Each structure stands twice: as C-alpha cells, then as structure tokens.
Amino acid sequence: GAVVSQHPSWVICKSGTSVKIECRSLDFQATTMFWYRQFPKQSLMLMATSNEGSKATYEQGVEKDKFLINHASLTLSTLTVTSAHPEDSSFYICSARDHRASGSVSGELFFGEGSRLTVL
Amino acid sequence: SQKIEQNSEALNIQEGKTATLTCNYTNYSPAYLQWYRQDPGRGPVFLLLIRENEKEKRKERLKVTFDTTLKQSLFHITASQPADSATYLCALGTGTASKLTFGTGTRLQVTL
C-alpha cells in the first residue's frame, strides 16, 4: 500500500520554541493531507485539512496561528507548532489519500507513524 | 451532538475465539464507515471500508456489518490470534466531505 512518512518521530523542546513536523507521501501524490492530534487513550482529533497550494482548513477550536500548516507540494505538508507549551505535548499524526483515488472520497487514509511532541 | 461510541473497556478473549467490537453513532448520516487498527505509538492502519448501502463486508478473518437503522457497525475477527491484539478504531465519513471522524477505539487483547 501507499506509504506516508512522518518526521521527526519524536521531539522534545523547551517551552516557547517552535517545532516543525513533516509529512511526506512517498509513492503517491496527495492534494489533501489531514493532521490529527491524539492524547493518551483517546481518539484521533482532526486538527486541520491541508490543501496543496491553498490555505489549510482548520477545525473549530484549533488556533491557526498556533498550528501553522503548509502544503507546498503534492507530496509534502508541514505542521509547525509555534511557541509550544507543555499543554501542546501530544501525539501528532498526519494522513493522506492517494491523489489518483481522489474521485472517491471514501478511499482509505494512509497514516504516518506519528510524531510524539514533549514540551518541557 | 454527534457522537461515535466504542466500548472504552478492553476486550479480552482467548486465542481462537471470535472477537466482536461495536461502533455506535448518533446524529450522523454516514455515507461510509471504516475500521482501522492502531498499535501503541504508531499511526492507524486501514482495515476495511463499508458503504451505507452495504450490509456486510469480509476480508480474510475480518468481517464488518453496517446497520444504518440501528446506527451501528460490528467488527468481527474470527480465529483470533495474539497478534491481533491492538486498538481498533471505527471512523465515519460523509459523502460531502473527505475527512473522517474517529471513535475512541477499543483495545483488544487476545491471550493464549
């Protein structure tokens, strides 16, 4: 199946710094990628939909100035957590659908391995 | 408000038995439903998709049912193995948007 690579897999940073997480589709093109956040023993919460070449669509309650998303190419989306604080510590996961299957909105999502962020 | 509920308590079963996991939803009209497996510290992996006009789908030892009247999906793993131990997530999607909304997941533990 299609592969989505996420980097870094874990990161520890100091409070107030910014952290960038990359999400790449390795063997397919993705016009749309999705960023999720997951707290321990909880479900995935959609943060935003990343659209190639245009602005991301954020879910209600997600601060767009806090979580900057850039989708500059069909294979790369980045999430930057700006001025991170301990409450931003979480597991961030990206996902994507194969561009070739975009005509079918029910296609499976391919997930990255996730990025564990710890803010001290 | 919209809700997707999965049994939050872990399901413990013996190897060889059939595991049945439940996904109930309210205030949704999903066009399709998907099931994913998630191992600790890893991203989810797609297992099965079932559309609103389908009653049942099978894939190897997996079977999914979808009852839009009961607003429920059941996920079965037959002849379960310890390697099936993981958290299983259901996710609902509508025909008008491509994003998925996930349930809380059920942890399955298969013992020898």
Please state the length of chain A. Answer: 120
Alpha carbons B3 and B84: distance in angstroms, whole number: 26
Q: A11-48 burial by CB neighbour count: b if 16+ within 10 A, else e?
A: bebeeeeebebbbbbeebebbbbbbbbbeeeebbbbbb
Question: What mean pLDDT comes out for the span A11-35?
Answer: 93
The nearest alpha carbon in chain A to B39 belongs to: A113
| Confidence bin at A77 (pLDDT 50/70/90) | very high
- Identity of residue A38: Q
Residues of chain A in Cβ contact (below 8 Å) with chain B: 1, 4, 6, 32, 34, 36, 42-46, 49, 91, 93, 95, 97, 105-114, 116
Instruction: Profile chain B (112 residues) by mean pLDDT over runs of 10 residues.
Output: 86 97 92 93 92 94 96 97 97 77 94 94
Q: Is the peptide bond before A8 cis (omega within 30 degrees of 0)?
A: yes
Question: What mean pLDDT comes out for the span A37-66?
Answer: 92
pLDDT per position as a tens digit, B17-35:
999 999 999 988 888 999 9
Nearest beta carbon to residue A106 from set B36, B93, B103: B93
Q: Say if residues A22 and A78 touch (Cβ distance below 8 Å).
A: yes
Alpha carbon of A118: minimum distance to chain B alpha carbons (Å): 14
